[in-house]
A and B are shown apart, each in its own frame.
Chain A
């Protein structure tokens, strides 16, 4: 089994994007650079480039999503691909058709790319192992494992604001344990070499052995925010209250919620990020989410350019110098 090179082809090029883990720093930089060349496409009169003309992209979402699904769809359309959306909740798996049977059916329809979201960790790897060799798989979120395009668009956003990664102190605050975004962010930020990476949460939301991923664990929000250049807040799911992981939303907000007062502990030019959708008054105060240091909406628009970059690169159609812009 080609365990460690599943997302690369025999020449080391990115064929699938399943996880940030295992990507070289230069590969991440190349994706960010390519995304940079696409950023202006959205501002044009005709918001399209013909890179994926004739290609068919299937959005295979086994789990509800608005933002990610929409930006993938827009990204594919701006690359001139045909886009098919399959909402699995109401489709075949209900009828007992297995995941892989369904894939083979779709393959028979000459699809070129699957963008997959699934509630189970490892779903994208499973699919990538079983698709025809010409098909690329993009992981749009699998269980608590990975959400690589979200991490890449966050890197893109950070780079636009901060330039270099090396001097940065980054704090990721919230439910690290159940967050695929957190895991992908950790791999991306450690690969790009930030000087300090903190995860901030009560122990109930910190997974065992998380230090092995190269982060510092902090349980006190003040200590976690002090001197930070980048503050990334994670969404808190309501289920955590039932699971006895937290007493209440109110107590969570009072101890780990990002308010203006808390944000003042970070560097004055710190940026505030959030993968969305945000819970106002739970993990973040409205005044911070809508405040001057928030780049949350910019993350969303950057998501389109980054996904265009990933889609074109995995299908081997990266723009030549100057072609994107």
Chain B
């Protein structure tokens, strides 16, 4: 099947392209950019006039709940939601109900994703068995089974010795370690940023130091072990500064930020709005500015959704007892575009933070497996109309999770087509 995407504005940051040229796809790969390749004839045309054509989005962190949490969401529902949001690749972290510490679990997740056909799911393998932080997971086996990197999810590796060994071993296998930086003792029992809001509401606080102490420890170990590491969903300005220093010193570290952290602060909790209960917590305005600055400077490479779909009851509880997390797939693109609208990033930079840069972190870019529209790369493409305003409504969300603090927000930019390896996984156009 040959497809030509015509009349769109092609933005492909990985190749420095931002111009009105056509894109030609043959057999699931990019056959040509601009010029029609020799001997190519399109079986179908997509008219992208007035729309932007960019690589399919790559979300570095999305919980899909399957296996184990199917009552909340399934891989089928969430990958379909991803496709409707222009996302073609999702990175799925391990958690206690699906620790991703055996090849069987990796196979299951990949199989379900393949079956659904809406988006590619890349599992992060466990760093320690059962995420218990004691014994190393079979990382080489997990890599062979298809894990793109390793992580201990939200579970802390309390022992510094175990963390050091895990990093050394991961480095030996050529695996990147994805880190959730949170000191378990300082964070214990907390549910909100420790500050003026938590003191007012009597919510147990998670101090900024819970993040910075963990970042400091991991940076020391990264320097010693030489492992390539990626910090997930940073929440504090100080951690960003620590990371900038480490990058300046030449450490192989990258980071991402969840889209909601770039817009919300602890003030948005208001009087116990459980939709704003997230982990790591929403912090102060200064932190939000620091995260934005970090993204602008490149210290933070990528924006992720940190997607966590929940059933309705998860948020119908007193704030500390409610489940943390936001259903974020469908706000990833509009919230990232808004950064360009607000002048923080250029439009190509904003797009790079959800395409080229996460692809680089996952090592997909060099293999043409995402984040690029170079000739020969796999044809993962997102086409969106950057202009229309639309209101985020719970009943219009494709995800099984309707938990979002952005409900009622006016968002700009709407996906019209998503192609996964040249196949349409979502479209509203003809």
Of B273, B313, B316, B318, which is within 8 A of A121 by CB? B318
Q: Tell me if B319 and A122 are in contact (CB < 8 A).
A: yes
Number of residue pairs A-B, CB distance < 8 angstroms = 82
The answer to whether the Cβ of A120 comes within 8 Å of any Cβ in the partner chain is yes
The answer to whether the Cβ of A126 comes within 8 Å of any Cβ in the partner chain is yes
Question: Shortest Cβ distance from B123 into chain A, in angstroms?
Answer: 33
Known: A146-B202, A208-B205. A3 touches B271 (CB 8 A): yes
The answer to whether the Cβ of B394 comes within 8 Å of any Cβ in the partner chain is no
Q: Tell me if B313 and A98 are in contact (CB < 8 A).
A: yes
Of A1, A145, A212, which is within 8 A of B202 by CB? A145
Q: Tell me if A122 and B320 are in contact (CB < 8 A).
A: yes
Query: Which residues of the partner chain A approach B204 to less than 8 Å between Cβ atoms?
Result: 144
Question: Shortest Cβ distance from A146 into chain B, in angstroms?
Answer: 7
Q: Give CA–CA (A64, B205) in the complex, Å.
A: 25
Question: Shortest Cβ distance from A76 into chain B, in angstroms?
Answer: 24
The answer to whether the Cβ of A277 comes within 8 Å of any Cβ in the partner chain is no
Q: Give CA–CA (A130, B272) in the complex, Å.
A: 14
Of B198, B316, B319, which is within 8 A of A100 by CB? B316
Known: A1-B273, A125-B271. A143 touches B316 (CB 8 A): no
Residues of chain B from 307 to 333 with CB closer than 8 A to chain A in the complex: 313, 316-321
The answer to whether the Cβ of B210 comes within 8 Å of any Cβ in the partner chain is no
The answer to whether the Cβ of B101 comes within 8 Å of any Cβ in the partner chain is no
Q: Give CA–CA (A210, B320) in the complex, Å.
A: 20
Query: Which residues of the partner chain B approach A6 to less than 8 Å between Cβ atoms?
Result: 271
Q: Give CA–CA (A122, B321) in the complex, Å.
A: 10
Question: Shortest Cβ distance from A305 into chain B, in angstroms?
Answer: 26
The answer to whether the Cβ of A207 comes within 8 Å of any Cβ in the partner chain is yes
Question: Shortest Cβ distance from A264 into chain B, in angstroms?
Answer: 32
Question: Shortest Cβ distance from A277 into chain B, in angstroms?
Answer: 20
- Binding site of A, secondary structure by majority: helix, strand, loop or mixed? mixed
Nearest residue (CB) in A for B320 is A120
Residues of chain A from 202 to 216 with CB closer than 8 A to chain B in the complex: 207-210, 212-213
Q: Tell me if A208 and B320 are in contact (CB < 8 A).
A: no
Identify the interface centre among A1, A6, A118, A210: most chain B CB within 10 Å of its CB: A1
Q: Tell me if A122 and B318 are in contact (CB < 8 A).
A: yes
Query: Which residues of the partner chain A approach B199 to less than 8 Å between Cβ atoms?
Result: 183, 207-210, 212-213
Query: Which residues of the partner chain A approach B321 to less than 8 Å between Cβ atoms?
Result: 120
The answer to whether the Cβ of A180 comes within 8 Å of any Cβ in the partner chain is yes
The answer to whether the Cβ of B201 comes within 8 Å of any Cβ in the partner chain is yes
The answer to whether the Cβ of A123 comes within 8 Å of any Cβ in the partner chain is yes
Q: Tell me if B270 and A142 are in contact (CB < 8 A).
A: no
Nearest residue (CB) in B for A3 is B270
Nearest residue (CB) in B for A177 is B199
The answer to whether the Cβ of B195 comes within 8 Å of any Cβ in the partner chain is yes
Question: Shortest Cβ distance from A205 into chain B, in angstroms?
Answer: 13
Of A1, A98, A142, A144, which is within 8 A of B316 by CB? A98
The answer to whether the Cβ of A222 comes within 8 Å of any Cβ in the partner chain is no
Query: Which residues of the partner chain A approach B108 to less than 8 Å between Cβ atoms?
Result: none
Q: Tell me if B270 and A1 are in contact (CB < 8 A).
A: yes
**Chain A: number of interface residues, binned into ranges:** 20 to 34
The answer to whether the Cβ of B207 comes within 8 Å of any Cβ in the partner chain is yes
Known: A99-B317, A120-B319. A208 touches B201 (CB 8 A): no
Of A21, A100, A142, which is within 8 A of B200 by CB? A21
Q: Tell me if B205 and A126 are in contact (CB < 8 A).
A: no
Identify the interface centre among A98, A100, A209, A212: most chain B CB within 10 Å of its CB: A209
Query: Which residues of the partner chain B approach A21 to less than 8 Å between Cβ atoms?
Result: 200
Residues of chain A from 53 to 103 with CB closer than 8 A to chain B in the complex: 98-100
Query: What sequence of 0s and 1s flags, for each residue 25-51 of chain B, a beta carbon within 8 Å of any chain A beta carbon?
Result: 000000000000000000000000000
Question: Shortest Cβ distance from B150 into chain A, in angstroms?
Answer: 34
Query: Which residues of the partner chain B approach A210 to less than 8 Å between Cβ atoms?
Result: 199
Residues of chain A from 181 to 233 with CB closer than 8 A to chain B in the complex: 183, 207-210, 212-213
Q: Give CA–CA (A183, B201) in the complex, Å.
A: 9
Known: A21-B200, A183-B200, A213-B200. A120 touches B195 (CB 8 A): no
Residues of chain B from 175 to 225 with CB closer than 8 A to chain A in the complex: 194-196, 198-205, 207
Q: Give CA–CA (A208, B202) in the complex, Å.
A: 11
Q: Give CA–CA (A3, B272) in the complex, Å.
A: 9
Identify the interface centre among B201, B205, B320: most chain A CB within 10 Å of its CB: B201
Q: Give CA–CA (A1, B195) in the complex, Å.
A: 24
Beyond A1-B273, A183-B202, 14 additional pairs, beta carbon < 8 A: A100-B316, A121-B201, A121-B203, A121-B272, A121-B318, A122-B271, A130-B316, A143-B320, A183-B199, A208-B195, A208-B198, A208-B205, A209-B196, A209-B198
4 tightest A-B CB contacts, nearest first: A145-B202, A144-B202, A122-B272, A120-B318
B residues within 8 Å of A by Cβ? 194-196, 198-205, 207, 270-273, 313, 316-321
